[in-house]
Every structure is written in C-alpha cells, then in structure tokens.
Amino acid sequence: MEPLIALVAVTLALLVAGSAGVRRLRPWPVALRGGLAAMFTLTGMAHFVGMRAELVAMVPPSLPNPGLLVTVTGLLELAGAAGLLIRRTAPWAAGCLTALLIVMFPANVYAAVEGLSTGPFEALIPRTLLQVVFVSATLAVVISSLRSRATESPSEAHSPSAPDVALPPALHPRTR
C-alpha cells in the first residue's frame, strides 16, 4: 500500500505546486512522472533495506539465485526512477518499468498464493488491482510522451536547444 500512497501523494503535491505557480510542474505528465519516480525509489530501496528478506522469499522457487534477482530488480527500479525525471529518457524509463512490473508480477502471485504475506492489501486481488494502477500510470507517461512528440515538428524534436527536462508549453523554446 505504501507505493500507492507515495505515487498518489507525490503526484498530487506536484500538481498542487504546478497550480500554485511552479510552471515546470503544471503539466500532469510531469507530476505523474514525479509520483512514479518517488514510488519506484521507495520500492527500489526496499530491495536493499527493510524488506529484502521478504522480497527474496517472494521469488518463485523455479527461478535461480533469488538474492541476485532481487538486487537486479531493485537496481532497475532505481534506474527507472531516475530516468523518469529526465524528459528525454522518461518514455523509455516508463516503458521499461512497465515491462518490469509485468515480469515481476508472478512473484506477487506466488507470494499471495503461498500466503507469504498476510496484510489485507497483499491478497491476490488487491495486489493485482495495485499492479493495474501502476502499469496504467507508467503507460500514461509513455502515451503522453508519444502524443506530445507527434505534435512537434521534426526540427523542434531534434533541436539542440530543446530542453532535457520537461517544460510546460509556456517555457518551451518553441512557444517563446
């Protein structure tokens, strides 16, 4: 449940900051990217501190070296979180995180079916619903990026003056 809280709270805080005048945070995809980055930082860190033993236990026994798999997925989540914060890499990071969520879902199923977790949000249906929310959020970032790039002219998309961080239309070089 903590990842969902982080996603929602940070996204809402960034949307409020955008409404309050922080122009770079005004577009909803930027706020969502920030919320996802916070969520994946939280979950990525859990692969190393706090929940490592539980995450290693969630790896289905048919997979080799559970400790290494937990380390690798934690590093991928942290790299994805960082990638979400850079406009140019955000769609790639979101796409890769979508794939990672799908690939890691069997571990959630295994943990729920085997009763490894006993919290109310850790049963199979709540876990599945949370996964749908997280995948939907990462896909929303990919889709919004594709739509925004489709509206740019080719010369603007490859301009050396195009910013690496997401800027709202009012600050983007093509609208000044």
**For residue 109, what are the CA distances in angstroms to 19, 36, 57, 148?**
39, 22, 12, 36
Cα 123–Cα 125–Cα 127 angle in degrees, nearest 5:
65
Residues belonging to the chain:
176
Which tens digit of pLDDT belongs to each residue from 135-166? 999 999 999 998 888 887 555 555 444 445 55
Q: Where are the alpha helices (DSSP H) in 20-159?
A: 28-46, 52-58, 66-84, 90-114, 124-151, 154-157
Nearest of 113, 96, 98, 106 to residue 59 by alpha carbon = 106
pLDDT at 152: 72
Mention every residue, 6+ apart, whose C-beta is less than 8 A from residue 116: 54, 57, 58, 110
How confident is the model over 117-122, as a mean pLDDT?
73
